[in-house]
Structure 1
Amino acid sequence: MAKQITREKAQELFLSMLKGANVDLAAMVEERLKKALEPLEARLKEQQTTRFNDIMRGHGRGDGEDRKAKSAAVGRMVRLLAMAKGDHEKAIVYATKMFGAEDMAVKALSAGQADAGGFLVAPEFSAEVIELLRPMSVVRRMNPTTLPMDQGALSIPKLTGGATAAYTGEGQNIGSSQQTTGMLDLVWKKLAALVPISNDLLRFSTVSPNADAVVRDDIVSAMALREDLAFIRGDGLTGTPKGLRNWAPAANVLTVNATVNLANITVDLGTLVLALENADVRMIRPGWLMAPRTKHFLMTIRDGNGNFAFREEMLAGNLWGFPFATTTQIPINLAVTGTAESEIYMTDFVDAVIAEASEIVIDASPNAAYFDSASSAVVSSFSRDETVIRAISRHDFGMRHDASVAVLSDVDWV
């Protein structure tokens, strides 16, 4: 049988062996570690140098920063196209001369291509503009389902009636039923945003990132407002998408109680939620849409003890536990039974579908005429020393389950 030794004895024997070999263990380990780490240190130094240089040039960011850079590059790209009067090749020359060949705007111009109707922005840069629509468009902010539609049309199966189940006794036939299905057919609708830009902004802000953001945000804001109007109240005619108001089944369009008090308001809100739940709507991403006037009223109404009824919850962004958003694209001058009425929408946005092309078309003209809503007249950009930017996106909107929308009409809460 082998003789066992203690742990302490083993350590003593090991140390005596090292001393006998006259080996400087620490020095040996240090030398080997140094050699092993040399390639890693060199690579790390190279990466740090590259990152520093990229940051100084405005590139080399993380994912979030890279997305910001791409969206800002779109604004710069639009300005360059405006300076080049819509000429794609000239815009690339200007961009390279002003910002260098590695600038993100040069990459955006190079990745896109000239189109008969303007400049076709590459999908990777168009996506950043579309993403910026999310916080500006209340419908997009509520997180609907978004699908690509690059071929002009998209058909999505929808369930209009479910199969049924039943208990059966011993030896009895099991009854069968069929699901009732349909198709949600979506087709491109063209949204064109016209944004006039002062030529002074083009002349005297050639290297200003703030000017790039102004151009980009003007385009995004114009698109977001018009999208919301279509996605909420569009009639589906004359080339516009069919919005929530017209997807809602008649049974889900409810009328507000004529007497405005807290008890009736609470019942009205609850009736909207109940309309969806009674239709077996899944309530995965439910949310409210309303006009700012309606939000203000709900946040200021008090109960019999003087306490705010909904204010605390709404300050946190919820109403009845569901998120809400406001937009002036929900009118407050509807005349159903009165003259200053509005609407409230309750929707499960998981069933709302936005299908869109992955590319945006940009064009610029210093000689265009456009309709000025402020003066209600057609004006010349040339006479105003402006360049008109036109951005075209293509999309459609629909509901996979019509009953996932409920509307409270005749809302005159003021």
Structure 2
Amino acid sequence: MADRITTLRARQGEVHTEMETVVNTAATDGDREMTAEEAARYDALRAEDDRLTANIAREVDLEHRRAAAARPIATLPAGRSGSGATVPAQAAEKLEPGMKFSRFAQAVAATRGQGGMRAVADFSEKTWGSAFAIEAADNMQESVDVQGGFLVNQDYSTDLIDALRPAVAVRRMGAVSVPMPRGNLSTRKQTSTSNASWGGERAAIPTSAPSVGMVKMSAKKLFALVPISNDLLRYNSIQTDTLVRNDMVREVGIAEDQQFIRGQGSSVAPAGLRYLAAAANVIAANPTNVVQNVRNDLAAMRLGLSRSNAPMANCGYIINPTVAEFLEQLLTATGALAFPEISEGRIGRYPFTTTTSVPDNLGTNGNQSELYFADFSQILIGDALQTTLAVSTEASYVDNEGVTRSAFQNDETLVRVIEAVDLNTRYDAAISVLTGAAWFPGSVAGQ
């Protein structure tokens, strides 16, 4: 069926090219009207295009229906254990976040995108049993085999986002995920606070209201390439599900983490906290590292929010691990720990998280870092829930060491994950940034 759809779409492309040729012939000839012969040819092509569109729609609909009703086929893929039997029926299992997405990605990779959703559903039935396949059938029929990959439905896309939450610092700290089902979202943002006033009896009450603007979010595409060993696809297990899930979450999570924190923003990528913060809340650290200066710098970050009447509903810090180590070792003049609460995951009374997406090699000497303090209830992550998966056994990719590797030569299947997200804030004064912090162990003045 997939071959029939491909053939129909190829012919439709040819028809569109012929239609364009007919129109362009008249347009380039003094923009004249089409001759009777040209008009008849165009009408015939249009009628054929309508027939092709209807035929493609029927084929796609039938493929989706077959995928939804898919049942096991006779034999397992080569290399998998068993003598042709399917996985026995079993009770539905509760899967950890990201595992459903992992299994869907494995099914797409194992079938090499051939055979459409029916092949994906059949593979799922054989590999993980009827309980998972029955649960997945309704979700799979909503996924679409599109040119360049599978457009994954919202249920699986949400499953990936749930897995990303602990892997991405901004998500981990409680930024609000808002759906963008059509790829766009507009909502109000506060730009200043209202003012109260006193008055005498019968005195007119002056009007006062906060100034508001608009937060406009639009889906930005994030691309990640995840190589999967074909051995893992041949010998599937819960460990395989976990490994594939972790690999995808790591690749997507690193890209999100870096962009959400320090991304400058463009038409194709979201701005991060560093460039969403109000200019007045970007503070330079005191260059002399003594306990009181460190406390003052941290206080200045917090005051940047409280003086602007940020809600302070869900505040916390994002810092580099080196900065956390510095604060943990920092001693007062009496030898006591300056920040003993670090071991409990707090700086003062506010929680913190660490990530290497906050650099520690900034500045002229490459020994400076930044600290971020925000009310994460005001940070919005727009999730379009439009993830696309595509696979290749021939493509090449560059690994973390900068070496170009061939999926074919390394017996791997390369999975391309495309996610659509954006980041913004409802109140830019709800973010503060401390720059130029040369806070690393042993850097206290006098040591």
Provide TM-score, normalisation by structure 2: 0.74
Please tell me whether residue 346 in structure 1 is matched to residue 373 in structure 2.
Answer: yes
Distance in 2 (CA, whole Å) between partners of 1:98 and 1:220 is 22
Letter in 1 for 2:361: N
**3-state SS, counterpart of residue 135 of structure 1:** coil
Per the alignment, residue 275 of structure 1 pairs with 304
CA distance in 1, matches of 2:207, 2:128: 69
| Correspondence for 1:358 | 385
Structure 2: where are the runs of 5+ without partners?
Answer: 1-87, 441-447
Quote how far apart the aligned CAs of 1:409 are.
0.4
Report the equivalent of 1:37.
none
Counterpart of 2:148?
117
Structure 1 Cα separation of the partners of residues 373 and 126 of structure 2: 52
> What TM-score, normalized to structure 1?
0.79
Please list the CA deviations of residues 287-335 of structure 1 after superposition, one character each: whole Å capped at 9, or x if unmatched. 0000000001111111222222213x11111111101000000011112
Quote the residue 1:132 is aligned against. 163
The one of 73, 76, 92 aligned to 1:60? 92
Contact 2:164 2:249 in 1 (8 A): yes
Contact 1:72 1:209 in 2 (8 A): no
- 1:103 is the counterpart of 2:132: yes
2:415 partner letter: I
- Decide whether the 8 Å contact of 1:230 with 1:241 is kept in 2: yes
Partner of residue 251, structure 2: 222
SS of residue in 1 equivalent to 2:131: coil
Q: Which runs of 5+ in 1 are unaligned?
A: 1-55
Count of residues in Structure 1 that have an aligned counterpart in Structure 2? 350
Structure 2 CA distance for partners of 1:59 and 1:137, relative to 1, 3 Å: farther
Give CA deviations for 1:264-309 in whole Å, capped at 9, x if unaligned: 1111111111111111111100000000000011111112222222
Contact 1:96 1:106 in 2 (8 A): no
Counterpart residue number, 1:323: 351
Indicate the percent of aligned positions where both proteins have the same amino acid. 34
Match status 1:256 vs 2:288: no
Which of structures 1 and 2 has the bigger CA Rg?
1
RMSD after superposition: 2.1
Counterpart of 1:103 in 2: which secondary structure?
helix
Shift in Å, 1:111: 4.6
Q: Specify which of 110, 122, 139 is matched with residue 93 of structure 1.
A: 122
| Moved beyond 4 Å, runs of 4+ | none
* Shift, 1:121, TM fit: 2.1
Distance 1:101 1:128 in 2: 20
| Closer, same or farther: CA 250–196 of 1 in aligned 2, 3 Å | same
Q: In the TM superposition, what whole-angstrom CA distance separates every residue of 1:238-285 from its partner, at most 9, and x where no partner exists? A: 511111000111111111111111111111111111111111111100
The 3-state SS of whatever aligns with 1:158 is: strand
More off after superposition, 71-80 vs 292-301: 71-80
- Inter-CA distance 60–79: structure 2 relative to 1 (3 Å threshold): closer
Q: Is this contact kept in 1: 2:305–2:429, CA < 8 A?
A: yes
Q: Which has the higher contact order (CA 8 A, sep 6+)?
A: 1
Conservation of the 8 A alpha-carbon contact between 2:100 and 2:159: no
Shift of 1:109: 3.7
Query: Hey, what does 2:271 align to over in structure 1?
Result: 242
Does structure 2 retain, via aligned residues, the 8 Å contact 1:248–1:405? yes
Deviation of 1:139 (Å):
0.8
Residues 1:386 and 1:60: Cα distance change in structure 2 (over 3 Å):
closer
The separation in 2 between residues aligned to 1:238 and 1:225, in whole angstroms, is 20
> What's the counterpart of residue 380 of structure 1?
406
